[in-house]
A = this chain, B = another copy of it.
Amino acid sequence: VNAAQLQLLLQAVASGATSAADAHAAIAQLPFEDLGFAKVDHHRELRKGVGEVVLGQGKTAVEIARVCTALLARASSVLVTRVTADAAREVQVLVPQLVYHASARTLRAGTVAPRAGRVAVVTAGTSDGPVADECTETLAAFGIAADRIADVGVAGIHRLFAQLERIAAADVVIAIAGMEAALPSVLGGLVATPLIAVPTSVGYGASFGGTAALLSALNCCASGVTVCNIDNGFGAAYAAHRILRAMDRVRSAA
């Protein structure tokens, strides 16, 4: 469905190198493998730079295992997010090479080549740790180096200032904060790097499961801060990957 590929394929058909039926099959069927309950997207690495990441939530252990097996048959690594400890144990029986990270709630297997670029993963409080863990596990699965800076929320702002040089030196900054999520606003006024806010569900009462932090991040008075879903450490890591990939294109062009 990529326009360039389509044109190539059509030229192959025109030249007789490929039959129309084969071309049609190539376009419509090749990029994924149908497991019945799931369609595994082997094509995604080409299209997006990293392979398909499996969302564990809502899948049975057997379903997770089958998707991982299918992916590992063609790729060197795999990542599953939002896996409970119970489900992880069941999956690991079926796919033993998967390693579980209890706080990040991820399963991961395989090795990836290290990439250029460094991402600062900054949390406001200790309780935001699990979201930061999902984030750094995802970065690791993509071969990206993470610099983890914990517990620098604005209630003791001198702790943040002491880390400022280190944060400003990163290529991308991910600010993870719950409650009123003031951290992205303060950071956004201090650093010029791409800055991604991850509101977390840390809090109670009028936090409404992270809604307060989410609204805070969306209304950030510092300009150009973008936002992920509540507790979505994975998504922030993936957005960082998109930015580092854009920086890689500059490197390749140089």
- On A, residues with C-beta under 8 Å from B are 1-4, 6-7, 10-11, 13-14, 16, 19-21, 23-24, 27-29, 31-32, 36-39, 41, 43-44, 47-49, 52-53, 55, 57-59, 63, 67, 82, 124-129, 150-159, 161-162, 164-165, 168, 171-172, 178-182, 185-186, 188-190, 192-196, 201-232, 234-243, 245-247, 249-251, 254
Docked pose: A59 CA to B234 CA in angstroms: 21
CB-CB < 8 A to A216: which residues of B? 180-182, 212, 215-216
CB-CB < 8 A to A1: which residues of B? 157-158, 161, 164, 190
**Majority secondary structure, A binding face:** helix
CB-CB < 8 A to A16: which residues of B? 14
**Which of B49, B150, B162 contacts A36, CB < 8 Å?**
B150
Query: Is there an interface contact between B172 and A222, defined as CB atoms closer than 8 Å?
Result: no
Q: Top 6 closest A-B pairs, CB basis?
A: A58-B127, A205-B230, A224-B238, A226-B226, A212-B215, A182-B182
CB-CB < 8 A to A27: which residues of B? 6, 158
Min CB gap A191→B, angstroms: 8
How many copies of this chain sit in the oligomeric assembly? 8
Residue of chain B at shortest CB distance from A183: B182
Query: Is there an interface contact between B254 and A193, defined as CB atoms closer than 8 Å?
Result: no
Given contacts A192-B242, A224-B238, 15 further A-B contacts (CB under 8 A): A1-B157, A2-B190, A10-B21, A10-B23, A28-B161, A37-B150, A67-B126, A125-B221, A193-B246, A203-B219, A205-B230, A208-B215, A224-B237, A226-B235, A226-B236
Docked pose: A221 CA to B159 CA in angstroms: 14
CB-CB < 8 A to A82: which residues of B? 204
Given contacts A127-B57, A246-B247, contact A154 B218 (CB under 8 A): no
**Which of B10, B14, B205, B211 contacts A201, CB < 8 Å?**
B205
Given contacts A126-B63, A218-B206, contact A189 B245 (CB under 8 A): no
Query: Is there an interface contact between A179 and B221, defined as CB atoms closer than 8 Å?
Result: yes
CB-CB < 8 A to A182: which residues of B? 154, 180, 182, 185-186, 216, 221
